[in-house]
Amino acid sequence: MSLNGGFANRQAYLATHGCPPNRTVHAGLNHGTRISEVTATDGGRVIEATDGLITAAANVALAMTSADCLLAYAYDPDHQVIALVHAGRRGLAGRMMTALVEAFQRFGTRPEHLLVTIGPSICPQHYAVQPADAVPFAAWPAAGRRVGEYVQLDLRLVARRQLEEAGVGQANIAFDPRCTFEEAELFSYRRDHPTTSQLQVGYLMRRS
């Protein structure tokens, strides 16, 4: 499903799920916090160096990959705007979920009306990082648990706290509980240690 070596597989898979190549926009990820606005004219494009796509256009699919990171699917029912963002440790350290809410506010979205679902991601029991890597998350002490020389980091909790602090209601935030490391049918970089690029793809479209 990767852009390099698996793009044809991705396009074929998405097409069978109602996302034709000429109506699908792909994100070329770089683990940052950039969110790009796209329209129907961007169909078929890969938007480089972005970890988020947002659109008010109907029948435009947004697509991006993940390995163990979070994919957040967001929808503003008032203004009919959708977004899909990728957030790993580095993105969340830069407050990607805050950036997501701010991107919607450019369309007039009221944060308390925003609906967000987080897809499968690695759970903290399988995501141990160096203590220095946990420093950006000190504002949320419950997100890091020291185990020996490492810190087990709860990316889901960080994402929730950032969304809540940006004004998204608790009842409007949902999580897929599956851990990519533990679920055999899901790809996990930390579990599989691939020698070639292997990823799973997420997609979102608002149909007219």
Query: 57 falls in which pLDDT band (50, 70, 90)?
Result: very high
Domain with 174 in it: what CATH number? 3.60.140.10
Model pTM score? 0.96
Angle in degrees, 0-180, between the axes of helices 155-165 and 96-105, rounded to the nearest 10:
30
Residue 169 lies in a domain: yes
Q: What is the mean pLDDT of residues 93-121?
A: 98
- For the record, the structure tokens of 179 come out as 């851990």
Residue 1 lies in a domain: no
Model confidence over 21-39: pLDDT tens digits? Answer: 999 999 999 999 999 999 9
Residue 21 lies in a domain: yes
CA atoms within 13 A on the CB side of 28: 8
Whole-number pLDDT of residue 164: 98
Q: Can you list the alpha helix ranges (DSSP code H) found in the chain?
A: 7-16, 89-93, 96-105, 131-134, 155-165, 189-192
Domain count, the chain: 1
Model confidence over 114-138: pLDDT tens digits? Answer: 999 999 999 999 999 999 999 999 9
Residue 96 lies in a domain: yes
Give residue 49's domain range.
7-205
Query: 165 falls in which pLDDT band (50, 70, 90)?
Result: very high
Residue 2 lies in a domain: no
Whole-number pLDDT of residue 198: 67
As a whole-number percent, the residues of the chain with pLDDT over 90 amount to 93
CB atoms within 10 A of CB 68: 23
CA distance 14 to 24: 9
60: CB partners within 8 A, 6+ apart: 23, 24, 25, 38, 39, 40, 42, 43, 205, 206
Yes or no: say if 68 and 188 are a contact pair by the CB < 8 Å rule: yes
Quote the mean pLDDT of the chain: 96
Phi and psi at residue 89, to the nearest 5°: -60, -45
